[in-house]
Amino acid sequence: MTIAPPPSGPVPWEREFALGMVRDMLRIRRMEERAAELYGEQKIRGFLHLYIGEEAVATGAIHALQAEDNIVATYREHGHALLRGMPMRTIMAEMFGKREGCSRGRGGSMHLFDAKLRLYGGNAIVAGGLPLAVGLALADKLHEVKRVTACFFGEGAMAEGAFHEALNLAVLWRVPALFCCENNLYAMGTALARSESQTDLCAKAASYGVPTTKVDGQDIVAVHEAAKQAQAHVREGKGPFFVEFQTYRYRAHSMFDPELYRSKQEVEEWKTRGPLHTYTARLKTEQKISEEDFLALDAEVAKEVEDAVAFAEAGSWEPVEDLTRDVTAA
Amino acid sequence: MKKISYREAMREALREALAADSRVFLMGEDVGRYGGTYAVTKGLLQEFGPERIRDTPLSELGFTGAGIGAALGGMRPIVEVMTVNFSLLALDQIVNTASLYRHMSGGQFSVPLVIRMATGAGRQIAAQHSHSLENWYAHIPGIKVLAPATVEDARGMLAPALADPDPVIIFEHAALYNVEGELPEPWSTDIKSAMVRRPGSAVSLITYGGSLPKTLKAADMLGKDGIDAEVIDLRVLRPLDDETVMASVRKCRRAVIVDEGWKTGSLAGELMARIVEQAFYELDAPLARVCSEEVPIPYARHMEEAALPQPDKIVAAAKGLFG
């Protein structure tokens, strides 16, 4: 595989906004690096799917959305929840299984939900969120609400029937859904070419009559600008839109994955395209950020992470007497 | 009281729900222009329009999931999955999403979705169109499962199902659509209790859905032979109404469960276990059950009849309890 050169070129944003993007990518990165350590310490258990390497996608895309939009995400959704506005404390507490977590510890890493933030999971069935997103968008259409439902999913989901059914329904019914494919090239350990007869994912989506865009998911500028256009199309009532964000996962699929399916060299080559350092370098070239600025941001984020961990540590366990609550309303 | 068919009762219930609440809409395969596979929704498209009587492509997984999303988004969708046989294509969305969202989100989300589907055999449409898999759904925490067996329940169960904040599945036995009955006014809107359909004292015959008419017939036959059978209609398959079942079993001291599902892993088995747990010392005889034979449902009429619970089999099972 030949790997494209690192993202480069001018950053068309004013300084404060540009630095905010660094901050948010750092927040995801540092939160997850700490989560991985905490997994080693057995504070976090079960599955833990890290987004490290893919941060530009959620950061760029979610910054293009509005606060009242709906978000449907996958089991690799820590970053999406954080940038939607869920406090890092709440995310960390959920990963610890504590009552102070967003789902009272009933969901864990894969099931981050927030009704007020209109974050509808945290769905750990590949492609499971796609039909749900069509329904959310349909409800908004029927209510005549100008809201976008952004649905994030991996390229692995595009081999599922649910993807095809959802795209077909979304276009037939012209619902305001933004389909965000995070193509990280591997469905667990199965490479794109081994799972898709048509590896051009936009061509595949386009067969349903949905407009599409392919974007370098390691380039936050490209991600954000594409997402802005895509969400505007959807919000204007022109029907659904499909964006393929081409990205790469630097860590294992989950903490149980020995990564037998790809070489260390491939991972290292992809790291030259890392979303955080390439973007920071571009900002430095334009003198929008100094090394001191970066270190100050990093220190600020480190504080937020340690505060979140302390909060999760100090959290409480839900009493076992409550076991059967929240199964049905009554 | 007026005479009405089960199909008409269901249609009236749908019409009432659509008229009462603008959040309610119906979607499924051929519910609109075709008028519904079983003609339940005939005429509703003309009355309520294509936005609210929404024809879907053949995408059970997709439109069931869309129903879940619409419910989360503030609507009150009714999803018609043509039959339980095709609901297997939607099982993932029902079992992995609809039933779990409240719990996985720590109580933040509820899915007020109603899913209707036809079930059961008896019309010579062979193995792929004759399943009775109610018990699979009744196994799942987080959803309610209803089995209206009378015109009253066909008329009355939809409104409380729509008012319920959690997913509710309504199983309509295909052999019941043409059955006519007297609709009392007011009709019952209970979706909690089992009901005594025929009082008796010698043996409890416990059943639901499409097996109710057969069981009532068996009770009449037993009556002619001097055995006073009580017939319990479960009505709600999850959660089960243990109280009504146990009261009948304690009174009659003998029980036969009639269930169109296959015996292995059946709802009948679950009921027997509960009776043994809760009323073992009040039984005068072992429990018995009449289920479908362990064979895919055959096409040929005589073979299909032989595979299903029938009044004579129920009579034989009940008589067997009297030594």
Residue-wise pLDDT for A76-120, tens only, equals 999 999 999 999 999 999 999 999 999 999 999 999 999 999 999
Q: Which of B88, B108, B238, B240 to mutate to test the interface with A (most CBs of A within 10 A)?
A: B108
Interface check for B108 against chain A (CB to CB < 8 A): the answer is yes
| Pairwise CA distance, residues B144 & B137, whole Å | 9
- Candidates A78, A54, A6; CA nearest to A251 is A54
Average pLDDT along chain A = 96
CB contacts of B142 in chain A (<8 Å) are: 327-328
- Fold type of domain B2-183: Rossmann fold (3.40.50)
| pLDDT above 70 for A241 | yes
Q: Where are the domains of chain B?
A: 2-183, 195-322
Taking only residues 22 to 51 of chain B, the set having a beta carbon closer than 8 angstroms to any beta carbon of chain A reads 25, 51
Rounded to whole angstroms, what are the CA distances from B216 to A73, A101, B231, B240? 51, 53, 7, 21
Distance from CA of B270 to the nearest CA of A (A): 20
Residue of B nearest to A328 (CA): B142
State residue B1's pLDDT score.
80
| Pairwise CA distance, residues B99 & B65, whole Å | 12
Angle formed at CA A264 by CA A195 and CA A42, multiple of 5 degrees: 90
Distance from CA of B258 to the nearest CA of A (A): 28
Distance from CA of B131 to the nearest CA of A (A): 23
* CB contact (8 A) between residue B75 and residue A142: yes
State residue A256's pLDDT score.
85
Distance from CA of B52 to the nearest CA of A (A): 9
Rounded to whole angstroms, what are the CA distances from A50 to A119, A125, A207, A254, B211? 19, 16, 32, 7, 52
Interface check for A123 against chain B (CB to CB < 8 A): the answer is yes
- Candidates A179, A184, A237; CA nearest to A212 is A179
* Of residues B61, B67, B109, nearest to A135 (C-beta): B67
pLDDT tens-place string over residues B148-160: 999 999 999 999 9
| Pairwise CA distance, residues B213 & B60, whole Å | 30
- Between β-strands B195-198 and B229-233, what pairing exists: parallel, antiparallel or unpaired? antiparallel
* CB contact (8 A) between residue B66 and residue A70: no
CB contacts of A149 in chain B (<8 Å) are: 69
- Candidates A33, A25, A76; CA nearest to A55 is A25
Average of per-residue pLDDT across B134-155: 98
State residue A234's pLDDT score.
98
Q: Does domain A15-185+192-251+273-312 have CATH number 3.40.50.970?
A: yes
Q: Does domain B195-322 have CATH number 3.40.50.920?
A: yes
* CB contact (8 A) between residue A137 and residue B102: no
CB contacts of B73 in chain A (<8 Å) are: 70, 135-140, 143
* Of residues B74, B106, B164, nearest to A326 (C-beta): B106
* Of residues A102, A123, A169, nearest to B59 (C-beta): A169
Interface check for B103 against chain A (CB to CB < 8 A): the answer is yes
| pLDDT above 90 for B22 | yes
Residues of B designated catalytic? 60, 129
Interface predicted TM-score of the whole assembly (ipTM), two decimals: 0.94
Distance from CA of A170 to the nearest CA of B (A): 9
Residue of B nearest to A113 (CA): B105
Interface check for A328 against chain B (CB to CB < 8 A): the answer is yes
Average of per-residue pLDDT across B69-82: 97
Angle between helices A161-173 and A129-143 in degrees, nearest 10: 10
* CB contact (8 A) between residue A139 and residue B73: yes
Scanning the structure block, which residue is given the tokens 């169960």?
B157
Average of per-residue pLDDT across A121-125: 94
- A-B contacts (CB, under 8 Å): 151
Rounded to whole angstroms, what are the CA distances from A322 to A99, A104, A106, B103, B104? 11, 11, 11, 12, 14
Interface check for B67 against chain A (CB to CB < 8 A): the answer is yes
* CB contact (8 A) between residue B164 and residue A162: no
CB contacts of B97 in chain A (<8 Å) are: 123, 125, 128, 132
Sheet holding A212-216, edge to edge: A119-122, A70-73, A149-154, A177-183, A241-246, A212-216
Interface check for B77 against chain A (CB to CB < 8 A): the answer is yes
Q: Where are the domains of chain A?
A: 15-185+192-251+273-312
Average of per-residue pLDDT across B243-259: 98
* Of residues B70, B105, B110, nearest to A138 (C-beta): B70
* CB contact (8 A) between residue A128 and residue B97: yes
Q: Which of A120, A123, A168 to mutate to test the interface with B (most CBs of B within 10 A)?
A: A120
| pLDDT above 80 for A330 | no
Of A253 and A18, which is predicted with more confidence? A18
State residue A91's pLDDT score.
98
* CB contact (8 A) between residue B69 and residue A131: yes
The single-letter DSSP state of residue B209 is G
Distance from CA of A204 to the nearest CA of B (A): 18
H or E element: which one contains B130?
Answer: none
**Amino acid letter, residue B293:** E
Which pLDDT band, with edges at 50, 70 and 90, does A255 fall under?
confident
Taken in order A93, A98, A104, A108, the sign of the CA dihedral is positive
Burial B23-53 (b: 16+ CB within 10 A, else e): bbbbbbbebbeebbbbebbeebbeebeeebb
Angle formed at CA A115 by CA A317 and CA A275, multiple of 5 degrees: 90
User: For B252, left (φ over 0), alpha (ψ -120 to 50), or beta?
Assistant: alpha
Taking only residues 226 to 285 of chain B, the set having a beta carbon closer than 8 angstroms to any beta carbon of chain A reads none
| pLDDT above 80 for A1 | no
**SS3 of B24, please?**
strand
